[in-house]
Amino acid sequence: MARVSSRALRHYHQIGLLQPSWTAHNGYRYYEQAELLKLQRILLLRELGIGLETIAEVLDGQTDEYRALQAHHRWVLAERDRMSQLARTLESTMAAMHEGAEMSAAEMFDGFGKNPYAEEAIERWGKAAMDRAKASWTAMGETGRQSAADELIAVNELLAECQKEGRAADDPKLQSVIERHYRWIRLSWTPEADGYLNLGQMYVDDERFRAYYEKAGVNPEYLLAGMKVYAAKQL
């Protein structure tokens, strides 16, 4: 009914996320109302992009679920509005094609490339900073943007490697990776120490960023610890 595989349920059981009401002698797991409600919450949080480790904290009451849901609610609403605009653009395109009319380029691509985080970013850093970042990103061109995306993937892989190796925050190898991370940030914005650390704290506090880094195999707290050392020494 929940479209959840038995494999996923076994995994949730093994990591202590969702225990069955009881398990029969033949190994079948049985779930009652309380477990179904908990599963519903797990699936909702997964749909919002939250990692299993963070979901466990939410369900254990260690994380403010309401604040986490508020952030994701804003993102979902922004995505809804963006997709609605894209639907209207496609409808206009189809109507113009049917009538043999022409559309301007601005009309044809209305709604594409809009950033659902833009309004929130403006609240955090101001419109001027957002405009500068957008201008820098646009000036890079398609090739430059692809190169930047590849660099971020490489940085994340190195961060995950350092974390797996147990390297301390001030370890030279980790600090060289943090240096690359800072250079990547500077492609669109040049933060001073406070701004860089505020960004790192957002990686920890914002469930969307946490889910992104956890998926890449990086604990946001580990990244922030490295950023703190780098900011103290270099910024």
211-222 confidence digits (pLDDT tens): 888 888 999 999
Closest by alpha carbon to 1, among 35, 45, 50? 35
* Cα–Cα distance list, 106 to 79, 86, 110, 112 (Å): 20, 13, 6, 10
Lowest mean pLDDT among 145-149, 184-188, 214-218: 145-149
Lowest mean pLDDT among 89-98, 140-149, 200-209: 89-98
Query: Could you tell me the residue ranges of all domains in the chain?
Result: 6-47, 126-235
% of the chain at pLDDT higher than 90: 29
- What is the predicted pLDDT for the residue at 219? 93
Considering 140-144, 148-152, 160-164, the range whose residues carry the highest mean pLDDT is 160-164
For 138-162, what is the mean pLDDT?
86
For 29-56, what is the mean pLDDT?
83
CA–CA separation, 115 vs 133, rounded Å?
A: 12
- What is the predicted pLDDT for the residue at 176? 96
- What is the predicted pLDDT for the residue at 177? 96
Task: Report long-range pairs for 123-129 (Cβ below 8 Å, ≥24 apart).
Answer: 124/202, 125/189, 125/195, 129/189
CA–CA separation, 155 vs 179, rounded Å?
A: 10
- Which has more confidence, 80 or 129? 80
Q: Is 142 exposed, middle or buried (0-12, 13-18, 19+ CB in 10 A)?
A: exposed
* Residue 109, pLDDT above cutoff 60: no
State which fold the 6-47 domain adopts: Multidrug-efflux Transporter Regulator; Chain: A; Domain 2 (1.10.1660)
Task: Report long-range pairs for 59-66 (Cβ below 8 Å, ≥24 apart).
Answer: 59/17
| CATH match of 126-235 with 1.10.390 | no
Angle between the N-to-C axes of helices 52-59 and 207-215, in degrees from 0 to 180, rounded to the nearest 10 = 140
- Which has more confidence, 163 or 56? 163
Helix, strand or coil, per DSSP, at residue 59: helix
